[in-house]
Structure 1
Amino acid sequence: MKEIEANQLEEKVNKKDEVNIIDVREDEEVAEGMIPGAKHIRLSEVPERLDELDKDKHYYMVCRSGGRSGKASQFLEENGYDVTNVAGGMLAWDGDVEKPS
């Protein structure tokens, strides 16, 4: 499984690179703030929401500490998706966050 450090992903976000971020945390965690532009799909919903993901795109998976996003990354890889897990998750994220509307 591919991994990226949170600060490396932050650099990509700050440079306005095209990044597709999926946040697999629970609703109450996301309510505290998420990476701007990230899409929220709870880990438990990933299998039933595969139709929302494009196999031709690359996704960065994030959770609180990297464990749940690692499970999501593994599942998505097994189903033919190009994904990278964000090591350390939101605990390691020092960049901007936005509150979901």
Structure 2
Amino acid sequence: MFSLFKRIPSMSTADLQKEGAKEWTVLDVRTPAEYRSGHIAYAKNVPLNKIAGFTQKGDKKLAVICQSGMRSKQAAKILSKKGFDVVNVRGGMNQWRGTTKGGK
């Protein structure tokens, strides 16, 4: 009965910043406008409403981020059900202290 609710692992933005693009494929599930306003340089924008169609070449683990961690948690659940090795980035871009690309 308990196996019906698979727990999605999470990581902090600090851990993501330490490990970076070498270890992770980072998916930013915010809207394109939010993404353009500032994003992690190596993150790929795949909005939450398109995440079910996501495919990936290679076997890198997925780290999913949004603005606060709520949409990314939903996306991580969807990706996990599709068989991806995925983590949710807690706190999202609100907690990101690294450099960003785009925005003002």
Q: TM-score, normalised by structure 2?
A: 0.85
Corresponding residue to 1:90 among 69, 90, 93 = 93
Distance in 2 (alpha carbons) for counterparts of 1:82 and 1:55 = 12
Instruction: Measure, in 2, the Cα distance between the counterparts of 1:74 and 1:55.
Output: 20
Tell me, in whole angstroms, the C-alpha distance in 2 between the residues paired with 1:40 and 1:47: 13
Structure-1 residue corresponding to 2:10: 3
Unaligned runs of 5+ in 1: none
Q: Structure 2: 5+ residue runs without aligned partners?
A: 1-7
Query: Which of 41, 44, 47 lines up with 1:42 in the alignment?
Result: 47
Percent identical: 31
Please list every run of at least 4 consecutive aligned residues from structure 1 whose deviation after the TM superposition is greater than 6 angstroms: none
Is residue 55–residue 80 contact of structure 1 (8 Å, CA) maintained in 2?
no
The alignment's TM-score, normalised by the length of structure 1, stands at 0.87
Give the alignment's Cα RMSD to 1 decimal.
1.6
| Equivalenced residues, count | 96
Answer with 1 or 2: which has the greater Rg: 2
- On the 8 A contact 1:21/1:62 being kept in 2, the answer is yes
The one-letter code of the counterpart of 1:79 is K
